[in-house]
Amino acid sequence: MFVSNALVGLREGLEAALVVVILLAFLTKTQRTWGIRWVWAGVGTAVALSVALGALLTYGTRQLSFEAQEVVGGTASIVAVAFVTVMVFWMKSAARSISGELKGKLDRALDLGPLAVALVGFLGVGREGLETAIFFYATAQAAGSGNNLPLLGWAVGIVGAVVLGWLMYKGALKINLAKFFRWTGIALVVVAAGILAYGIHDLQEARVLPGLNTLAFDVSHIIDPGSWYAALLKGILNFTPQTTVLQAVAWVAYVGVVMTLFLRPAPPTVAAPAERPDAAHETATA
């Protein structure tokens, strides 16, 4: 009773944390510390909104239809993928500008402002937040009827996800700068492809997209969906033992296109224009 609920908390916590962890590591590593509070602003808004909406749906008279819940989760995931994709190329351009800086040039052609950074934090957490909040209230209700184990399990799972996220953050900071962009970029592409597949599955369940029962593969007899490793695979890569053809095609296409573009060697750097004022200040006062 404790372990199973802990694994649900761990899985959902990781699903929410990964994009945020990579974004924070990137901002810290490239001394874009202005962005960190914006990430937390987005994360905080997503958490507050999820907790409030979850309470409304649990204790109020307003109810969220099954299809609406899947459409919200699915759409938010796909929008998150769009922003994360921009982030991938932001990393690529940052890598170029770092090597450019070494040669005395500054290239800030592609730089995200505070708003975009906050939105990535918001969507990264928000797409999973409502589901997690509703689960939390279910464990709270069990605790209200005298069974504390599900709530304790869930809390331990969430704390576990936060600790794992923190370790990943610390680990990423230790990577040397030259390899940092390459590895975090590759990780981000794989994570984003998983989020895309997740969003598609939600939309298939809501019958917005067809093919829910057309499976590409089913390895649920090998990978037990209730196991700890399945929780990690789903939490980190969004891997589901039962994957539909549409999910598989979208995953392969996304990785194929975005990974190729990301790893393609950059064309020779054009001489950058004279140094501009910090883009952060520009956008913040806009």
Interface with another protein by CB under 8 A: which residues? Answer: 1, 4-5, 7-8, 38, 41-42, 45, 49, 53, 57-59, 61-69, 71-72, 114-115, 118-119, 122, 126, 130-131, 134-135, 137-139, 141-142, 147, 149-150, 153-154, 205, 207, 212-213, 220-221, 224-226, 241-242, 284, 286
CB of 240 to another protein, least distance (A): 10
118 or 258: CB nearest another protein: 118
Smallest gap from Cβ 138 to another protein, in A, equals 5
Contacts of 155 (CB under 8 A, 6+ apart): 9
CA distance linking residue 230 with residue 8, whole number of Å: 10
Q: Least separation, in Å, of the C-beta of 286 and another protein?
A: 7
Residue reference for tokens 């914006």: 38
Nearer to another protein, 59 or 267 (CB): 59
Judged by beta carbon, residue 212 or residue 279, the one nearer another protein is 212
Strand, coil or helix: 112? coil
Q: How far is the CB of 170 from another protein (least distance, A)?
A: 28
Q: For residue 96, give both structure tokens.
A: 């170029």
Contact 219, 241 (CB under 8 A): yes
Q: Least distance from C-beta 47 to another protein, angstroms?
A: 12
Tokens 């995953």 appear where? 251
Q: Both ends of the chain: CA-CA distance in Å?
A: 52
Residue type, 16: A
Alpha-carbon torsion 67, 70, 216, 84, what sign?
positive
Note the residue count of the chain: 286
Minimum separation from the CB atom of position 63 to another protein (A): 4
Least Å distance, CB 168 to another protein, is 24
**DSSP H/E element including 243:** strand 242-244
Tokens 């109810």 — which residue? 63
Coil vs helix vs strand at 217? strand
Whichever of 62 and 174 has its CB closer to another protein, that residue is 62
Q: Which is nearer to another protein, 11 or 92 (CB)?
A: 11
Query: Between residues 1 and 173, which has the closer beta carbon with respect to another protein?
Result: 1
- Which two tokens mark 170? 């610390």
> What one-letter code names the amino acid at 219?
V
Q: For residues 33 and 147, which CB has a smaller minimum distance to another protein in the complex?
A: 147
CB of 275 to another protein, least distance (A): 26
Cross-strand partners of 242: 218
Nearer of residues 58 and 99 to another protein, judged by Cβ: 58
Helix axes 66-102, 2-29, angle to 10 degrees: 30
